[in-house]
């Protein structure tokens, strides 16, 4: 086992310990960014995905008897941003105002139905000057439209969404805890205080497991996205033309953090293996000079006899 670790370059190396520390810190930072997304208006730009009011209204109109005009009311937000810690309603600036409006409802994991999204958005702006309090009537319209969707499909999608988003959140939290512990241990191991520091190969194995959990959480986030409010868009065949129309920066950060942890660890091991192999080839002892001379003399003798 020791020879295998030596061949892989996972014996004691301060450079590899620093490398592990840096990649762990990057991965943990990415995870924290995702975990706080949409918890407050200040973190809404880190959203994982979004749902547009116009597309969602068109989808529900296609799947029910409600007219799109009744659902696509301008009192509703233009977009809903979904993050790991909540959902944010986004109103874009209009002709009367050069500033938009953002309101967020914090919840981990973010388990909200389509009608919850509507109610949260409207309740947040009740009492504003110049706005009509139409929360109850608008929520009723959306509930009626949503209730006309096939019950079996609706319940199956809702149940799948809840299970996926819970698993996604649990893996993200577990990955963050493991990464924080790994960061603390790796940092402490750089000093000389420990009589017996944790093996470098063991720390790298933990780092790979951490990256795998983070990657799995990101995949579950994608699956949950398509089982949540977006399933109505898929069912009605109302799809966005571009991925950037619904995928947010947070999802890219999520995958990037996981791939950095997995990829950088793999690159570190591969680089060390290549260096070790090159060093071992160069370190081979040269051939015995006497044997070389004997072979040369043996080759000259037949040549003289032939002449």
Q: For 274-279, which contacts have Cβ atoms below 8 Å and span 24 or more sequence positions?
A: 275/9, 276/6, 276/7, 276/9
Paired tokens of 88: 């944010």
Strands 86-91 and 49-52: unpaired
Q: Give CA–CA dist 257/159, Å, rounded.
A: 29
Give the largest Cα separation in the chain, rounded: 116
What are residue 91's phi and psi, to 5 degrees? -105, 125
Q: Provide DSSP, 257-278.
A: HHHHHHHHHHHHHHHHHHHHHH
What are the boundaries of each domain within the chain? 1-35+159-307, 38-149
90: closest CA among 77, 107, 104, 75?
Answer: 77
Those residues with Cβ within 8 angstroms of residue 140's Cβ, 6 or more apart along the chain or in another chain: none
Q: Over the range 4-13, which residues count as b (16 or more CB within 10 Å of their CB) and which as e?
A: eeeebbbeee
Q: Give CA–CA dist 127/307, Å, rounded.
A: 115
| DSSP β-bridge partners for residue 91 | 101
**Which pLDDT score, from 0 to 100, does residue 149 have?**
85
**Which pLDDT tens digits describe the chain residue by residue (307 residues)?**
444 444 444 456 777 888 889 989 999 999 999 999 999 999 999 999 999 999 999 999 999 888 999 999 888 999 999 999 999 999 987 655 545 689 999 999 999 999 999 999 988 877 665 566 678 889 999 999 998 888 888 889 999 999 999 999 999 999 999 999 999 998 887 776 666 777 888 888 899 999 999 999 999 999 999 898 888 888 888 776 677 788 999 999 999 999 988 876 666 666 667 766 777 777 655 555 545 455 555 555 555 555 5
DSSP 8-state symbol, 42: G
Strands 49-52 and 101-106: unpaired
Alpha carbon of residue 90 to chain centroid: 23
Angle between helix 114-123 and 135-147 (nearest 10)? 170
**Which pLDDT score, from 0 to 100, does residue 33 have?**
96
**Which pLDDT score, from 0 to 100, does residue 274 have?**
76
| Strand order, beta sheet including 101-106 | 49-52, 79-83, 86-91, 101-106
168: closest CA among 217, 227, 229, 110?
Answer: 217
């Amino acid at each position: 086992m020791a020879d295998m670790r030596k061949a892989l370059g996972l014996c004691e190396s301060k450079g590899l310990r620093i490398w592990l520390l840096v990649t762990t810190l990057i991965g943990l930072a990415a995870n924290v960014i995702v975990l706080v997304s949409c918890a407050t208006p200040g973190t809404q730009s880190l959203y994982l995905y979004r749902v547009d009011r116009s597309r969602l209204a068109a989808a529900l109109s296609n799947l029910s008897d409600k007219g799109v005009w009744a659902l696509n009311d301008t009192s509703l937000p233009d977009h809903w941003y979904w993050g790991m810690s909540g959902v944010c309603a986004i109103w874009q600036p209009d002709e009367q105002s050069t500033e938009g409006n953002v309101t967020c409802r914090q919840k981990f994991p973010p388990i909200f139905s389509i009608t919850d999204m509507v109610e949260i958005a409207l309740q947040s702006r009740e009492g504003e000057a110049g706005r009509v309090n139409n929360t109850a009537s608008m929520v009723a319209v959306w509930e009626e439209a949503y209730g006309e969707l096939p019950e079996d499909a609706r319940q199956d999608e809702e149940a799948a969404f809840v299970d996926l988003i819970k698993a996604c959140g649990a893996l993200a939290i577990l990955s963050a805890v493991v990464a924080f512990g790994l960061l603390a241990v790796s940092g402490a191991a750089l000093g000389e205080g420990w009589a017996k520091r944790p093996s470098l190969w063991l720390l790298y194995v933990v780092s790979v497991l951490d990256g795998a959990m983070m990657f799995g959480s990101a995949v579950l986030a994608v699956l949950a996205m398509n089982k949540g409010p977006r399933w109505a868009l898929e069912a009605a065949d109302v799809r966005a033309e571009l991925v950037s129309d619904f995928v947010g920066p947070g999802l890219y950060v999520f995958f990037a953090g996981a791939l950095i942890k997995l990829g950088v660890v793999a690159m570190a091991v591969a680089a060390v293996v290549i260096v070790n192999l090159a060093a071992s080839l160069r370190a081979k002892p040269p051939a015995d000079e006497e044997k070389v001379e004997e072979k040369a003399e043996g080759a000259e003798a037949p040549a003289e006899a032939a002449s």
